[in-house]
Amino acid sequence: MQDGPATEHETAFIQEALEAEAEAVRRIAQRVGADAEAWDRAVTLLESCRGHVVVSGMGKSGLVGMKISATLASLGAPSHFIHPAEAVHGDLGRIRPEDVALLVSYSGETDEVVNLALLLRADNIPILSITGRPASSLARQSEAHLSLGEVEEACPHNLAPTATTTALLAVGDTLALALARRRNFAADDFHRRHPGGMLGVGLRPITEALRFRVGRNLSVVADSLTVREALATAGEGRRAGAVVLVDADGRLSGILTDGDLRRLINQLGAAALDRPIASVMTARPRSIGVDALVRDAVRLVQECRVDEIPVIDAHGRPVGLVDVQDLIAMKVVRE
């Protein structure tokens, strides 16, 4: 067993393996123009589906097929996976007349998958296949077909499915994305299918996450006041970590955080309280609009290292304040 870092020979091998996988995808991308008609047929067939996209494949291709099915479902196309060997033992009942089958096999000759294709054709179920060979048995049974072309595996013996499964996954993901684009699948649609985790939380409107709202528990203060007057206007009971300041027209003009106030008093003592707040506030602070998402606030916190973010309306008037502690509580920002 080798201890320590990889040898130069091993590092070269790792790099070659990764490049082989990348090359498989690159070649398919380079052929898209020449294969445009096949891609159009494939996406159009999926677009016509009024039921589920039923994905099936054997072995490693089947495992990739499961992921393709999951991607389709997450992007608005109902989908489920059926194991080709189980299909002939009752699972054919999972396939309905309004479904479309997506069958994957690099060789295009896998017995279980080809047999499934024959059964589906007998039931008039449209078939889209992805193989490495357009003249394969599976391709010939399909209404639409996408070819991966000849792919050399990353495996030094050209045996273990590696580059072929990477290429298959890339093609499957691209099909799902192209279908979503055809159907005008939007971020709101994605959010409804991902209500949990960072994906779901990050796509929530920021207004749903506001704890501090103007008119309820957040005051806006005129920037013409002194620091002392501004603090009094904001009120002793305020819970936000900043004073939000506005100009004569009520538009956001600045912000003074608790940290800013502590530093100011440490530098100037009590005299700091009698200074015009406009001279010590952070002018034109980073802010987000009411139509922003939680992920926009997260990005601002991470990129600009701010702890409080004013939320403004279309006229630049504050409607609330995002506190980094709220984002931490939502588990979208780490302490």
Which CATH number covers residue 13?
Answer: 3.40.50.10490
In a domain, 194, yes or no: no
Return mean pLDDT, the chain: 90
What burial letters (b/e) apply to 8-40, b meaning 16+ CB within 10 Å?
A: eeeeeeeeebeebbebbbebbeeeeeebeebbe
Average pLDDT over residues 57-65: 96
* Alpha-carbon torsion angle 132, 84, 74, 193, nearest 10: 180
* Structural domain ending residue among the three candidates 151, 185, 219: 185
d(CA 81, CA 129): 14
Average pLDDT over residues 195-206: 70
Pair (66, 116) in one structural domain: yes
In a domain, 126, yes or no: yes
Average pLDDT over residues 241-266: 92
Pair (76, 24) in one structural domain: yes
Pair (84, 150) in one structural domain: yes
Pair (221, 290) in one structural domain: yes
Question: What does the pLDDT look like over 158-179, one tens digit per residue?
Answer: 888 899 999 999 999 999 999 9
pLDDT band for 8, please (50, 70, 90 cuts).
Answer: confident
Q: What pLDDT, on a 0 to 100 scale, did the predictor assign at position 237?
A: 45
Residue type for position 189? D
pLDDT band for 280, please (50, 70, 90 cuts).
Answer: very high
Indicate if the pLDDT at residue 3 is higher than 70: no
d(CA 272, CA 216): 29
Domain of 313 in residue numbering reads as 206-329
Pair (240, 167) in one structural domain: no
Pair (158, 28) in one structural domain: yes
Bridge partner list, 55: 81, 102
Average pLDDT over residues 284-307: 89
Bridge partner list, 123: none
- The total number of structural domains that make up the chain: 2
Pair (251, 304) in one structural domain: yes
Pair (117, 238) in one structural domain: no
Pair (178, 227) in one structural domain: no
pLDDT band for 191, please (50, 70, 90 cuts).
Answer: low
Question: What does the pLDDT look like over 119-130, one tens digit per residue?
Answer: 999 999 999 999
Pair (141, 263) in one structural domain: no
Pair (176, 227) in one structural domain: no
> The pTM is what?
0.66
